[in-house]
Amino acid sequence: MGQIENVLSENRAFPPSEEFRAEARVSSEQAYQRMHAESVARPEVFWDRVAQDLPWIEPYDKVLDWSDAPVAKWFSGGKLNASAVCLDQHLETIRSGKRAIIWEGEPGDTRTLTYTQLHLEVCRFANVLKARGVKKGDRVAIYMPMIPELAMAVLACARIGAIHSVVFGGFSAQALADRIEDGGCSAVITADGGWRRGKVLPLKKEVDAALENLAAKADAPEVHTVLVVRRTENEVAWSEGRDVWYHDLCAEASTECEPEPMDSEDVLFLLYTSGSTGKPKGIVHTTGGYMVGAYFSTQMVFDLQDEDVYWCTADVGWITGHSYIVYGPLANGATCVMYEGAPSEPHEGRFWEICERHKVSVFYTAPTAIRTFMRWGDEHVERYDLSSLRLLGTVGEPINPEAWMWYRRVVGQERCPIVDTWWQTETGVIMIAPLPGVTATKPGSATRPFFGVDAAILDEDGKELGPNEGGLLAIRKPWPSMLRGIWGDEARFRETYWSKWAGEPIYFPGDGARKDEDGCFWILGRVDDVINVSGHRLSTMEVESALVSHPVVCEAAVVGRPDDVTGQAICAFVTPTKEAEVGAALIAELNAHVSKEIGKLARPAQIRFTDALPKTRSGKIMRRLLRDIAAGVETVGDTSTIEDLTVLAKLRGFED
Ligand code: WT7
């Protein structure tokens, strides 16, 4: 495996500059050591101190209750409201007039909202939801473009205690329908459309199709409201009674709305993520612990200072956007940049133009984006004045050392520390990352555990491995922002995350990793059948099911193969029916089908037709072999369990 060799030979290290260190929130190795040791040994003491920073409506009486493990209770008895943490607490301070969101639409339109203005808009939005009968505990699906109303919708739900379930705008109607159904959502917030690569993404149309699909089902939830924000002004179909324009209701709504006092363990949101088998999992996050984690990790990992202009380029549809566009930065009273569209629109320097225009100082993006910029060429970056940048971040998948070095040299001008942050939808917040004023960073390593994180490398039997031995990443202690479950499926929650090792509950994130002699972690990627395309997890199972739902497909096996830009690309092996006419037209049709079922991001980069798939005697598809074939490498390891070796030989002979 190239990836493992590549990182093993990597031994460059970059300590923070004296200049950066001098201004940093945490600036000495001793401080990190002392704080980390305390956070793991006495989490109740450590997190109690951190939690004091938040504006509790009622104080908690216990920091951590782990008696019902693996379901943790943090800050029980306490009451707070996430939107008040993000907004109201700043209004009485000097931050009231500070910019909360600086937004750019893809076509070039802009909006700026101060904390006072954002607060007002969120209150109004919350009242609109109330007027439509949305109550505490109701689930609300949010399917929106990256416009300020997306952040408002999220915060408005939090304000009234409704549980938001944001579905990324790139997902198809079918994927949206599945998530609405699983979450039992009774309202949907959307927009007529959003701008992406100069075109309108017709979101309302997808919502209509999703709800039509659900209407045909017997026990699907009834969606009483589709609240539509006007963005692109494209024509939309209208279902009287159900569909309402946001701007119509907004005009009548009051701008005052008291935040609902929520219990620490009341659910704040659901966010769906892929696993290797079965339907997507609705990851459950609750209010108190999540907010403490989001607040504190943003402040520490990004060394957030009051004058920073912070830009996380993710979409709010992913956990990165939840924790590091909305909740974390706003809880800290930061000024955040938000951008609607594609990085290439209208030119390849758009991101750097935005950085220059708004004097972005902290910039957080994904390896897949960095590799794309690298390929587009340095000149697009160098055309802009990036002297405002002081810190860079990355998240989503292991970053290749080459891309890391490029990021450091060309974007960071060798001045900015890079924080490579490892975490997951389930962990809620960053778990392994450098502290930029302390940690010597290494290209390709997320470095050391964040406060409160007891990370280790274990083998299958739970034995801790030595330096540089590759094994399974494990988290041995609960942390405030950890998931509280999978919506409606407690058995799957226990099975997926807590059953890898016997004894005390240990969290298994599903990643392989090693730890070097300095205690730095090197993530090696997923150990299950989950593919990571452009930093987003997709389950092979879901793509396979989508393919098999096409009438000419008998069977399908989907694997990831290495890709220079997207990290992994989807490669599908398809067994067609006898009648099927195999060829380019069918490939195009299957691609369109997968787009429709899941979304464009799940379209296979390659589809190969085959008469049979390699299987074990017990009938299991041998994805390991297919992975090697897709990557074009020799198969190493055991093929003795394969039922019919000629299948393998045939597959090998295939040309693209
Ligand atoms: C999986 C989680 C966390 C927000 C984005 C993805 C991979 C994530 C890194 C990193 C190496 C990483 C892991 C993880 N991953 N960040 N810095 N280095 N791998 O969230 O969809 O829940 O995916 O992404 O494999 O398990 P997600």
Ligand 1 proximity of 368 Cβ (cutoff 6 Å): no
Please determine, for residue 449, whether its predicted confidence score (pLDDT) is greater than 90: yes
Nearest-CA residue for ligand 1 atom 20 is: 424
Distance CA 475, CA 40 (A): 11
Percent of the chain with pLDDT over 70: 96
**Could you write out the DSSP letters of every residue in 452-467?**
T--EEEE-TTSPBP-T
Task: Locate CATH 3.40.50.12780 in the chain.
Answer: 23-84+282-455+477-501
pLDDT in the model for residue 1? 29
CATH homologous superfamily for the domain 530-652: ANL, C-terminal domain (3.30.300.30)
Ligand 1 centroid–CA 395 distance in Å is 6
CB 374 within 8 A of CB 394: no
pLDDT in the model for residue 11? 85
Cα three-residue angle 44-48-51, rounded to 5 degrees: 140
Residue 525: pLDDT band with limits 50, 70, 90: confident
SS3 569: strand
CA pseudo-torsion sign 485, 491, 497, 502: positive
Please determine, for residue 355, whether its predicted confidence score (pLDDT) is greater than 70: yes
Q: Which CA distances in Å does 520 have to 328, 392, 648?
A: 25, 19, 40
Mean pLDDT, the chain, integer? 94
Task: Locate CATH 3.30.300.30 in the chain.
Answer: 530-652
Please determine, for residue 633, whether its predicted confidence score (pLDDT) is greater than 90: no
More confident residue, 645 or 154: 154
Ligand 1 proximity of 281 Cβ (cutoff 6 Å): no
pLDDT in the model for residue 618? 65
Name which of 208-212, 244-248, 318-322, 619-623 the model is least confident about. 619-623
Ligand 1 centroid–CA 226 distance in Å is 32
pLDDT tens by residue, 197-249: 999 999 999 999 999 999 999 889 999 999 999 999 999 999 999 999 999 99
Please determine, for residue 274, whether its predicted confidence score (pLDDT) is greater than 90: no
Instruction: Point out the ligand 1 atom lying closest to the alpha carbon of residue 432.
Output: 17
pLDDT in the model for residue 656? 39
CB 122 within 8 A of CB 153: no
pLDDT in the model for residue 620? 72
Ligand 1 centroid–CA 209 distance in Å is 31
Please determine, for residue 640, whether its predicted confidence score (pLDDT) is greater than 70: no
DSSP state of 222: P
Ligand 1 proximity of 446 Cβ (cutoff 6 Å): yes
Ligand 1 proximity of 395 Cβ (cutoff 6 Å): yes
pLDDT in the model for residue 2? 30
Ligand 1 proximity of 509 Cβ (cutoff 6 Å): yes
In this prediction, residues 138-145 reach a mean pLDDT of 98
Instruction: Point out the ligand 1 atom lying closest to the alpha carbon of residue 425.
Output: 22
pLDDT tens by residue, 296-310: 999 999 999 999 999
CB 535 within 8 A of CB 567: yes
Please determine, for residue 279, whether its predicted confidence score (pLDDT) is greater than 90: no
Ligand 1 centroid–CA 304 distance in Å is 22
The model carries a pTM of 0.91
Ligand 1 centroid–CA 578 distance in Å is 40
Percent of the chain with pLDDT over 90: 84
Please determine, for residue 5, whether its predicted confidence score (pLDDT) is greater than 50: no
Nearest-CA residue for ligand 1 atom 14 is: 424
Q: Which of 424, 497, 528 to mutate to test the pocket of ligand 1 (most atoms within 8 A of CB)?
A: 424
pLDDT tens by residue, 563-613: 999 999 999 999 998 889 999 999 999 999 999 999 999 999 999 999 888
pLDDT tens by residue, 78-112: 999 999 999 999 999 999 999 999 999 999 999 99
Neighbours of 119 (CB within 10 A): 24
pLDDT in the model for residue 655? 40
pLDDT in the model for residue 324? 98
Q: Which of 423, 500, 507, 536 to mutate to test the pocket of ligand 1 (most atoms within 8 A of CB)?
A: 423
pLDDT in the model for residue 635? 67
pLDDT in the model for residue 599? 92
Name which of 477-491, 520-534, 625-639 the model is least confident about. 625-639
Q: Which of 532, 538, 601 to mutate to test the pocket of ligand 1 (most atoms within 8 A of CB)?
A: 532
Residue 55: pLDDT band with limits 50, 70, 90: very high
Nearest-CA residue for ligand 1 atom 18 is: 398
Please determine, for residue 652, whether its predicted confidence score (pLDDT) is greater than 80: no
Distance CA 124, CA 255 (A): 5
Ligand 1 centroid–CA 459 distance in Å is 21
pLDDT tens by residue, 7-43: 446 789 999 999 999 999 999 999 999 999 999 999 9
Among candidate residues 608, 300, 273, 630, the one with its CA nearest the CA of residue 439: 300
Ligand 1 proximity of 340 Cβ (cutoff 6 Å): no
Name which of 156-165, 304-313, 510-519, 528-537 the model is least confident about. 528-537
Ligand 1 proximity of 537 Cβ (cutoff 6 Å): yes
Residue 149: pLDDT band with limits 50, 70, 90: very high
Neighbours of 604 (CB within 10 A): 21
Please determine, for residue 482, whether its predicted confidence score (pLDDT) is greater than 70: yes
Distance CA 558, CA 598 (A): 14
Q: Which two tokens stand for residue 649?
A: 């030989």
Domain 23-84+282-455+477-501 is found in CATH 3.40.30.10? no
